[in-house]
A = this chain, B = another copy of it.
Amino acid sequence: MSKPKIVSGLTDGYIVRPDPADPRLSERVTGVDETGGKVETAVVMERPLTIFLNSQEVVTAMTIGDYPEYLALGFLLNQNMLKPDDVVTGVDYDDDLAVAVVRTERTTNYEQKMKKKVQTSGCGQGTVFGDLMEVIENAKLPHTELRTSWLYTLTHKINTTPSLYLEAGAIHGCVLAQEDRPLVYMEDVGRHNAVDKIAGWMFQEKISPADKIFYTTGRLTSEMVIKTVRMGIPILVSRSGFTAWGVELARKAGLTLIGRARGKRFVALSGEDRIKFDQDLRYVEEESAKHRRKGAVDRD
């Protein structure tokens, strides 16, 4: 497996963070603004990646194109085509062909599985293969705690981290965190790709999910809840809102589900028992106008 480039922060604790300066991830285009005057602006890239599991072509995903190996691994894990205890003998990525092949010791054949698909509402038409509900019923998430002081520090750090989002908008972000520290911050045009890249990274690096927090810029839909539970992470936080089924599944699985986390405010609709309200709210700032404005640009 070719080692993807890891962009580490020196002082802020990130193991993987966005690289908005990477010329492959966005491009400058010209157009006109409301005055009719010519403007130049940055837009994010969107390119195909075809994922194979051994000899079987599984899907072509549209992605910004960073970390294709993690995306392939995480996609297959989150579709339950790759098992947590599978031995991966290699991940081959071919940049010209835009193909990533995950090879396992176990012989795989998902022909039947791929015939049955459910389109989910992950802001589009997410595809979930049949048996994902089992993960909710069998969930055993650990009884960790989430201090509100961590939550405020964490979201402030994430919001002020240089990112493609701040550069070009129209992109989703997901962050794997521990206490008040963001560890891995992935972005993608498809928010499920961002999740999958983190899942792939965790698999590759053998990271324990038990003491982690998962943060997403996207909505808390059923699909996002299922993926978080599958990853074994007990706490899911978003600046966006909830769907009813997302809440229902989170409650069934015992997942702590926090939404509308912006500035001082948040709402928890499941797993409230993990939350320790240790933060004196008089010392929390409302979200700055800059982030409010940027956050406002993209509803999906």
Q: What is A's interface to B at a CB cutoff of 8 Å?
A: 26-27, 29-36, 39, 41, 43-48, 59-63, 117-127, 148, 168-170, 172, 188-193, 217-223, 239-247, 259-260, 262, 264-270, 272, 275, 277, 281, 292-293, 295-300
Contact = CB atoms under 8 A, between A and B. Distances in A.
Given A31-B269, A126-B124, A43 B170 contact: no
Given A127-B127, A221-B46, A270-B31, A299 B172 contact: yes
A135 to B, nearest CB: 17
A300 B59 contact: no
A226 to B, nearest CB: 12
A185 to B, nearest CB: 15
A45 B221 CA distance: 10
B47 A245 contact: yes
Contact of A33 (B34, B247, B262, B267): B267
A221 B193 CA distance: 15
Nearest to A265: B34
B244 A27 contact: yes
A45 B243 contact: yes
Given A123-B122, A170-B241, A33 B265 contact: yes
Contacts of A189: 121, 123, 219, 221, 243
A283 to B, nearest CB: 13
Contacts of A239: 297, 299
A270 B29 CA distance: 10
A297 B241 contact: yes
Nearest to A239: B299
Contacts of A260: 169, 297
Contacts of A218: 123, 299-300
Contact of A172 (B119, B123, B246): B123
Contacts of A169: 240-242, 260
The 7 closest A-B pairs by CB, nearest first: A170-B241, A122-B124, A123-B123, A169-B241, A62-B121, A31-B269, A121-B189
Nearest to A242: B43
Given A189-B243, A218-B300, A297-B240, A29 B269 contact: yes
21 contacts: A29-B244, A31-B272, A33-B267, A36-B277, A41-B242, A43-B242, A44-B241, A44-B242, A45-B243, A46-B121, A59-B118, A60-B118, A62-B120, A122-B123, A124-B126, A125-B190, A169-B241, A217-B299, A240-B297, A241-B297, A296-B296
